[in-house]
Amino acid sequence: MKYTPGYLSNAGVMAFATVAATALAASDKAAVKASVAANCTIVVVGELNFGALDQSSNESTATGSVFYWCTKGTPYTITLDNGENYDAGSAKRQMKQLGGPGLLPYQLSIDKESGIGNGLPVNARAVLSGTIFGHDIRSSVAADYVDNVTVTIEP
């Protein structure tokens, strides 16, 4: 067998290239993502109960609470609809007589119309305040009255 210096030299270069190729590593970054939704949740809405009204009263008031929470840092608004018996002509909310045609006007407001959410576990509180004026009490028949007002809290 005859010695060929070029042949051994090429074999040595190929062996080095193979070792160098297997020693290379690759890396990249994986994105890790999340999104926290901006939302609000009503925990409970307490009723406003004016109780038994006395027709000799000048007015009657009642309060109720809305407990809710909104995602931390989220701006929100609170609105009240006009209820189920709203009279557009007089622009008044009205309770309707159970089992009859009578209506009893009332005013309703909320002490907070907007804010910034605190997140859980802190429930925020808004106070509903209602008033029935004496002239409306005096013009109503003896009966039970009810209305339903929708409270909406939205980011």
Residue 20: which pLDDT band, with cuts at 50, 70 and 90? Answer: low
Nearest to 64 by CA among 119, 142, 130: 130
- Hey, is 59 helix, strand or coil? strand
**Average pLDDT of the segment spanning 45-72:** 95
Taking CA 98 as the corner, what is the angle to CA 51 and CA 43, rounded to the nearest 5 degrees? 60
Nearest to 120 by CA among 74, 65, 64, 66: 74
Helix H or strand E segment including 22? helix 5-22
Residue 68: which pLDDT band, with cuts at 50, 70 and 90? Answer: very high
**Average pLDDT of the segment spanning 8-30:** 67
* Confidence at residue 22, expressed as pLDDT on a 0 to 100 scale: 73
- Domains of the chain, first to last: 40-154 (2.60.40.1090)
* Confidence at residue 1, expressed as pLDDT on a 0 to 100 scale: 54
Measured between alpha carbons, how far is 61 from 41 in angstroms, rounded to an integer? 27
pTM of the model: 0.77
Measured between alpha carbons, how far is 128 from 68 in angstroms, rounded to an integer? 13
Measured between alpha carbons, how far is 18 from 13 in angstroms, rounded to an integer? 9
Q: Which two tokens stand for residue 30?
A: 């994986």
Given a cut of 80, is residue 21 above it in pLDDT?
A: no
Express each pLDDT in 69-99 by its tens digit. Answer: 999 999 999 999 999 999 999 999 999 999 9
Residue 45: which pLDDT band, with cuts at 50, 70 and 90? Answer: very high
Given a cut of 60, is residue 4 above it in pLDDT?
A: no
The residue behind tokens 């007589």 is 97
Under a CB-based contact definition with an 8 Å cutoff, are residues 137 and 53 in contact?
Answer: yes
Under a CB-based contact definition with an 8 Å cutoff, are residues 65 and 125 in contact?
Answer: yes
